[in-house]
Amino acid sequence: MISAGELSVDLACSGRRVTAVKLASTRRTDFSRVLEGKLVDEALSLVPLLFSLCGRAQAIAAVTAAEHALDRGADHATRALRRWLIVAEQTQEYLWRLLVDLPAANGETTAVSNLAELRDCIAKMFKTVQGGRSAHLPGEQLANAADDELMHLLGLLESCIESQVLGQKISAWRGGETAAAFLGWLETSNTVVTRALRHLAAATESTAHSAGFLSATAAGPALAGMIERLLDDAGFAASPAWQGRHPETGALARRRSAPLIAALAAARCDRRLVRSAARLLELVDAIDALRDVPAAALTADNLGGGSLGAGIGYGWVETARGLLIHAICLREGRIGTYRILAPTEWNFHPQGPLVQELLALKGQDAADLEQEAQLAVLALDPCVGFRVRVRNA
């Protein structure tokens, strides 16, 4: 596995305000070059080994790109179950951020026994659905696993979300689609998640963000043009742009038109809180999608791909962190060019959404600004470790 690298966030402040932001990352964006020159199946078998996070999403994006390059599509059931795996992995990532990272930023910890039980439950879900098969090789058939064991595991997962995240039944939580209802829930519920989010509920949006949003659905047919640029320009994966901007990708980009998210934005709630609400929406909706295998997974707009010509294919996946793209150009039966564009390069671009938010931060002092900045980074969720440093300008 290639080293994940680290994100450094350096803030210069004057009084209670941030005056300058510098982002630096040791995360490599060219590691897909190790796959070039290899046979397709050989390259695809290596992809899951390169990533410590979202390994299934990476593998599924890769096989989708390869299938389009080879003009060899997966069948209906296999595509549906790949979508299921994406939703399940996204759920796992959301729970880890909500139950581990967010409470830690608030000085709390989730009981180790609860996390171990949750980890075991999710691992069994993946095993039940995949049945020892691979999701990352062209033509591989996945099992239809809508059985009693899976339903039992999903019941345990739902109970975990209700008790440890929401503090109430999912059906009751879904009933609050107004800003007042959501903020009221934060005040009355007493979980590690709600206690951590209350701090953000006291803040208000302090700036108008101009970076915009990016999702595969919103990009539509124009996505192909971006992927052509990705294949032609070796530096694009490290510093991407969309229509001259550096937009945000992820749950907020996908859910910004949902009634609750629109209401929170209209109430000028802190962007970090609105982003967390979007993730919570996707988390509770995932339970229904995961229960109905494979029918509900087919309705998810979380996986797609296409061909840009003979031997050229791409695959995209909407992951927990945002839009992930793999693109492949074959030459004489081998991988000629392999490019990966990850959501981290959008959300943590030097002119992207994080920098805009950090420049608008206010704090009582340098220590307060550092904590606020850490919450901003966590809200966008980089796929690498990070550190925040504050100095007086």
pLDDT in tens, 152-208: 999 999 999 999 999 999 999 988 889 999 999 999 999 999 999 998 888 766 555
According to the model, what pLDDT value does residue 314 have? 97
- What would the two tokens of residue 265 be? 């934005």
Distance, CA of 43 to CA of 308 (rounded, Å): 20
How many Cβ atoms sit within 10 Å of the Cβ of residue 393?
Answer: 11
Q: Which of 22-36, 75-89, 95-109, 135-149 has the lowest mean pLDDT?
A: 135-149
Which domains does the chain show, CATH number per domain? 6-392 (1.10.645.10)
pLDDT-derived band at 253 (thresholds 50, 70, 90) equals very high
Average pLDDT, the chain: 87
How many Cβ atoms sit within 10 Å of the Cβ of residue 199?
Answer: 17
According to the model, what pLDDT value does residue 142 have? 58
Whether residue 86 is predicted with pLDDT greater than 90 in this model: the reply is yes
Average pLDDT over residues 227-237: 94
227: nearest Cα among 242, 212, 249, 245? 242
Residue with the two structure tokens 């959301």: 94
According to the model, what pLDDT value does residue 1 have? 47
The percentage of the chain sitting over the pLDDT mark of 90, rounded to a whole number, equals: 54
334, containing H or E segment: strand 334-341
Is the Cβ–Cβ distance between 77 and 84 less than 8 Å?
no
Distance, CA of 174 to CA of 135 (rounded, Å): 32
Q: What separation in angstroms does the CA of 379 have from each of 160, 252, 363?
A: 22, 10, 18
Whether residue 268 is predicted with pLDDT greater than 60 in this model: the reply is yes
pLDDT in tens, 308-338: 999 999 999 999 999 999 999 999 999 999 9
- Tell me the pTM: 0.93
28-37, 122-131, 221-230, 287-296, range with greatest mean pLDDT: 221-230
According to the model, what pLDDT value does residue 178 have? 93
Q: Which of 100-109, 137-146, 270-279, 294-303 has the lowest mean pLDDT?
A: 137-146
According to the model, what pLDDT value does residue 288 have? 86
Average pLDDT over residues 228-241: 93
